[in-house]
């Protein structure tokens, strides 16, 4: 039923269904009991919604614009990626465990308890799989992006990480995306669950499209939320550092250049991606779906979005 993932055994998990490898259950139980203390910061997103962009922003604001520090540590070293072992196909997990890729091993299997406090956590799990005390004790930044651009970005991502057939076409994938047959989906329950918490004082709900439209304003909102006042000069610096053109050149956030959550070494993956011209920092645009969807798929997606959002006050911007 799941052509892309047939080889990794993905199946809907539990009654509140998120698509994960079929052996993810025990991992999820462990993540659910992650302790949360005041000061801990969690970035919660669906894949491809601007997670890395937000990670860089949040880390720098919280660490008083320590650009040097941000360049000693890869982005994934600065954040604990909560569910990464659970996302792996079991055979990839085993290969990494056996030491095929020591960087991935360290990034994937180091326990969160070994990290310095306060914890910076990244997760793609929906809120109901996060620790129940999260919104009482920690702070959550949730980032959402319109599903049409997420779908295109995800399509590229899965090829880059060798998780889909190279000959699959975009329209075929879009159908699976809408049906929730892609890792960590379905899309709308994830977003709407967070949207309900948008007025919780410990939650900041951001849209990728707002960050595109007004990056400075988004930085200011994050700084206010974290209670870290910024000078105009610091705002200038962050705005320039976080611009897409700078992020694209920044090896510390560009995953394809630095490491992979795969059994391949960073060098092997970078070489393959360079050969196939795949990039993690791909386009960074809103509305790129226009270059990828057929009219039929675009219309079907619009109808799907309208259906899923009926009766809610959540709105997505698909073009700027
Ligand atoms: P595209 O594939 O559309 O280019 P995530 O980090 O959640 O996986 O999201 C990755 C997406 O965010 C990619 O989208 C990437 O290019 C985009 N992105 C990352 N940094 C960005 C920035 N500074 N400005 C705009 N988009 C950015």
Average pLDDT for 193-199? 97
Question: Domain for residue 216, yes or no?
Answer: yes
Return the closest-CA partner of residue 4 out of 86, 89, 62: 89
Backbone phi and psi for residue 235, each to the nearest 5 degrees, phi listed first: -60, -45
pLDDT in tens, 259-317: 545 556 667 766 776 777 778 889 999 999 999 999 999 999 999 999 999 999 999 99
pLDDT attached to residue 264 = 65
Residues 69, 65: Cα–Cα separation, whole Å: 9
DSSP labels for 190-204? HHHHHHTTTTSTTEE
The residues near 64 (Cβ < 8 Å, ≥ 6 apart) are 228
pLDDT attached to residue 203 = 98
Q: How many domains does the chain have?
A: 1
**Residue 97 among the catalytic residues:** no
Of 9-18, 28-37, 237-246, the range with the lowest mean pLDDT is: 9-18
pLDDT of residue 241 exceeding 60 = yes
pLDDT of residue 2 exceeding 50 = no
Residues 57, 67: Cα–Cα separation, whole Å: 11
Residues 318, 302: Cα–Cα separation, whole Å: 10
Q: Determine whether the shortest distance from the Cβ of 183 to ligand 1 is under 6 A.
A: no
Which of 208, 222, 284 maximizes ligand 1 atoms within 8 Å of its Cβ, making it the mutation to test the pocket? 284
Question: Domain for residue 318, yes or no?
Answer: no
Question: Domain for residue 66, yes or no?
Answer: yes
Q: Of the listed 80, 124, 157, 190, which one is catalytic?
A: 124
Tell me the CA–centroid distance for residue 249 and ligand 1, in Å.
13
* More confident site: 80 or 99: 80
Question: Domain for residue 320, yes or no?
Answer: no
Residue 14 structural domain: 6-236+249-309
Question: Domain for residue 57, yes or no?
Answer: yes
Which of 52, 87, 143, 184 maximizes ligand 1 atoms within 8 Å of its Cβ, making it the mutation to test the pocket? 52
Q: What rounded mean pLDDT belongs to the chain?
A: 87
Q: What is the DSSP letter of 119?
A: P
User: Alpha helices, DSSP H only, in the chain?
Assistant: 25-32, 51-62, 67-70, 75-78, 84-87, 90-97, 102-109, 134-137, 147-160, 170-178, 187-195, 208-213, 215-226, 232-241, 244-249, 255-258, 266-275, 295-309
Residues 318, 320: Cα–Cα separation, whole Å: 7
Percent of the chain residues topping a pLDDT of 70: 88
Q: Is the CB of residue 209 less than 8 Å from the CB of residue 317?
A: yes
Helix (H) or strand (E) holding 42: strand 41-45
pLDDT of residue 128 exceeding 90 = no
- Protein residue with its CA nearest to atom 25 in ligand 1: 284
Of 68-77, 88-97, 227-236, the range with the lowest mean pLDDT is: 68-77
Average pLDDT for 151-169? 86
Average pLDDT for 203-216? 98
Question: Domain for residue 1, yes or no?
Answer: no
Range 178-208 burial, b when 16+ CB lie within 10 A, else e:
bebbbbbbbbbbbbeebbebeeeeebbbbbb
pLDDT of residue 159 exceeding 60 = yes
CATH classification of the domain holding 215: 3.40.50.300
What is the torsion angle, in degrees rounded to the nearest 10, for the CA atoms of residue 108, residue 113, residue 117 and residue 118? 70
Question: Domain for residue 317, yes or no?
Answer: no
pLDDT in tens, 45-86: 999 999 999 999 999 999 999 998 888 666 667 889 999 888
pLDDT attached to residue 263 = 59
Tell me the CA–centroid distance for residue 15 and ligand 1, in Å.
31
State the closest ligand 1 atom to the C-alpha of 247, by its place in the atom list counted from 1. 23
pLDDT attached to residue 72 = 67
pLDDT attached to residue 23 = 78
pLDDT attached to residue 257 = 43
Q: Determine whether the shortest distance from the Cβ of 20 to ligand 1 is under 6 A.
A: no
pLDDT-derived band at 9, boundaries 50, 70, 90: very low
pLDDT of residue 12 exceeding 60 = no
Question: Domain for residue 206, yes or no?
Answer: yes
pLDDT attached to residue 223 = 98
Average pLDDT for 138-164? 92
Angle at 75 between CA 286 and CA 231, to 5 degrees: 75
pLDDT attached to residue 63 = 95
């Amino acid at each position: 039923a799941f052509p892309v993932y047939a080889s990794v055994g993905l199946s809907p998990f539990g009654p509140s269904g998120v698509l994960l490898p079929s052996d993810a259950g025990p991992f999820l139980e462990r993540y659910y009991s992650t302790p949360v203390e005041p000061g801990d910061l969690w970035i919660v997103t669906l894949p491809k919604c601007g997670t890395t962009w937000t990670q860089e922003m949040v880390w720098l604001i919280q660490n008083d614009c320590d650009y040097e520090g941000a360049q000693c540590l890869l982005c994934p070293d600065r954040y604990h990626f909560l569910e990464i072992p659970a996302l792996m196909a079991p055979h990839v997990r085993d290969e990494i465990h056996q030491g095929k890729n020591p960087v991935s091993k360290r990034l994937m299997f180091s326990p969160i308890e070994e990290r310095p406090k306060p914890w910076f956590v990244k997760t793609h799990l929906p809120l109901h799989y996060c620790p129940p005390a999260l919104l009482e004790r920690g702070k959550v930044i949730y980032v959402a992006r319109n599903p049409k651009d997420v779908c295109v970005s995800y399509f590229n991502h899965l090829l880059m990480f060798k998780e889909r057939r190279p000959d699959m076409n975009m329209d075929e994938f879009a159908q699976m995306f809408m049906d929730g047959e892609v890792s960590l989906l379905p899309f709308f329950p994830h977003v709407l669950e967070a949207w309900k918490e948008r007025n919780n004082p410990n939650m900041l709900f951001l849209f990728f499209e707002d960050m595109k439209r007004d990056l400075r304003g988004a930085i200011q909102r994050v700084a206010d939320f974290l209670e870290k006042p910024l000078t105009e000069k610091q705002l200038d610096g962050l705005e320039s550092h976080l611009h897409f053109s700078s992020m694209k050149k920044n090896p510390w956030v560009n995953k394809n250049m630095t490491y992979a959550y795969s059994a391949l070494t960073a060098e092997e993956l970078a070489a393959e991606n360079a050969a196939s011209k795949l990039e993690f920092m791909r386009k960074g645009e809103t509305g790129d779906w226009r270059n990828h969807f057929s009219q039929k798929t675009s219309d079907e997606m619009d109808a799907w979005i309208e259906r899923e959002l009926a009766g809610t006050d959540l709105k997505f911007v698909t073009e700027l």
